[in-house]
Amino acid sequence: MRARSTVFLVVLVALAGCSVGYSGSTPTPTDETTPTPAPETATPTPSPNQTATAEPATELPDPETDVLGWENGYWANETISVDRSDGLSEAERERIVARAMARVEVVREMEFNSTVPVELMSREEYQDSEYSGGGDRSAAFTTFDNAKFEALFLVGEDRDSLAVQQSNRGSSVAGFYTPRNDRIVVIYGGETADLPGERTLGHELTHALQDQQFDLTTITASSREQSNAQNGLIEGDASLTEERYMERCGEEWECLSAPQSGSGSGSSDIHLGIYIMDFFPYDDGPAFVEFYQERGDWDRINQMYDDLPASTEQVAIPEKYAVDPDPPTDVTLRDQNTNGWERVDPPERTPTARLGQSAMTAMFGYTLYADTGNQPVIQPQELLNINSEGNIVQPPFKYTAPPVRGWDGDRMHIYQKDNETAYVWKSVWDSRQDAQEFADAYADLLAYWGGSQQSGGLYTIDSGAYADAFRVTVEGDTVTIVNAPTTGDLPDVHE
């Protein structure tokens, strides 16, 4: 129980400056934003003599031209006086935003092309807005998403996966940037519209800077795995910039403190399994970006926007991106469905799921928190970063647990017959040993959720939200999992 309660507190702390979820700053498989080109304005060449000085100051003279560390009349180290007794006025917020833009420029060593509008939104308003992930979906899309999350043992047949994900976002998102209309929204708690400090602001302004320089609208993802991999760079860049920004607060920069009314981070409805999966870019992304930034400065990171990470494995193990490149296998899967089983093909997305190392980590890691009373598939130290004193440290999660460490690619097809669903999930591993290790852990996962082995690779879960039949086949470095409502359906889904 100690691991469960402790990690929950870690999760809440980690959320303070992150735009977790699909309504955040970066594209995802369900992103419906309309691409908008970045402003075509020239980026001024900064002068080394016109950057922010080290100590906070007031009434500094403006430069003759726009330079790094100065935006809209404010230097990065400038002191600003505000009255927060009734929240921030629009004029006060504009001054804080101008200074924050200058600070992001100093840390990220890159110039904004234009001012970014920043708005405040209460958590209640966000939960009722289009940005929280609601809206109409096709029946095929809902079926596809439900089956995918059922396959991960995160959301059972008794719940709607889209609703669970929306609830997670509504409880956790601290702010977001939307490339389609170049807009930042910061979520506040309490009754007074106020910025909850500068952490979230710095993070989302970095996304706006990325969009102006690299046009985030051109980056699209066709799967959750691809989205989490790309966001490893995008969110990792913003999170590292945010951390270095906040490290200057205090002696070097006077920063806006969080209001006593709270930061506005809700938590009561967080599904930890889905959270583990979605938190990957914020957990492993900063270390991935820092690994290459230390080896080639920010110019190296800028170049990476033309060569995005191809897998979450490349982010979790940075050397596999460029030092010792290890591109994922493009797994092929031939449909063999018969006897009325039809492939689910949503009009909003590609009909193929690629789940990847981060989603598989969540699948196994969730067994630490789901409270079934059964033995978890992995141990706390395999999922959590725990120091010698037994405390969880930042970043909280590991995405290289033994059952997923040898991942090299995967592909899932989903099928439907009448009101029932089924799927085939094929994964390729670095070696036969890795494939067998995953298959063995998956058998433990089935047992955790009430499953029993019938014969060979055939398993059944007789009751509950995951009641189904499963066939697990290992052939060399490949594992194929076939799911169907009954054992008699399995051959009709896939021979």
At 291-323, the pLDDT tens digits run 999 999 999 999 999 999 999 999 999 999 999
At 494, is the secondary structure helix, strand, or coil?
A: coil
22 vs 371, residue with greater confidence: 371
Encoded amino acid at 195, one letter: L
Q: Which residues are registered as beta bridge partners of 343? A: 415
Backbone angles phi, psi at 105, to 5 degrees: -60, -45
Segment 468-480 mean pLDDT: 98
pLDDT(268) > 60: no
Candidates 155, 98, 141; CA nearest to 370 is 155
Tell me if the bond preceding 395 is cis, omega within 30° of 0.
yes
Candidates 248, 306, 280; CA nearest to 76 is 248
pLDDT (tens digit per residue) in 169-225: 888 899 999 998 889 999 998 888 999 999 999 999 999 999 999 999 999 999 999
* pLDDT value at residue 43: 25
> What confidence tier does 59 reach under pLDDT thresholds 50, 70, 90?
low
At 100, is the secondary structure helix, strand, or coil?
A: helix
Rounded CA gap, 147 and 153, in Å?
10
Burial class (CB in 10 A: 0-12, 13-18, 19+), 422: buried
pLDDT (tens digit per residue) in 4-44: 333 443 443 343 334 433 233 333 333 332 222 222 222 22
> What confidence tier does 258 reach under pLDDT thresholds 50, 70, 90?
confident
* pLDDT value at residue 55: 55
> 3-state secondary structure string, 303-338?
HHCCCCCCCHHHHHCHHHCCCCCCCCCCCCCCCCCC
pLDDT (tens digit per residue) in 338-364: 999 999 999 999 999 999 999 999 999
> What confidence tier does 57 reach under pLDDT thresholds 50, 70, 90?
low
pLDDT(273) > 60: yes
pLDDT(444) > 50: yes
Rounded CA gap, 463 and 18, in Å?
38
Contacts of 14 (CB under 8 A, 6+ apart): 279, 282, 283, 394, 395, 396
Contacts of 394 (CB under 8 A, 6+ apart): 10, 13, 14, 385
* pLDDT value at residue 60: 76
* pLDDT value at residue 170: 87
* pLDDT value at residue 54: 46
Candidates 311, 344, 320; CA nearest to 428 is 311
Tokens of residue 234, six digits: 């995008």
* pLDDT value at residue 297: 97
Enter the DSSP assignment of 388: T
> What confidence tier does 85 reach under pLDDT thresholds 50, 70, 90?
confident
Mean pLDDT of the chain: 87
Tokens of residue 124, six digits: 């209640």
Tokens of residue 492, six digits: 């009709």
Contacts of 29 (CB under 8 A, 6+ apart): 221, 222, 223, 224, 226, 227, 349, 350
* pLDDT value at residue 127: 87
* pLDDT value at residue 172: 84
Segment 456-467 mean pLDDT: 96
Segment 359-380 mean pLDDT: 96
pLDDT(337) > 60: yes
pLDDT(326) > 80: yes
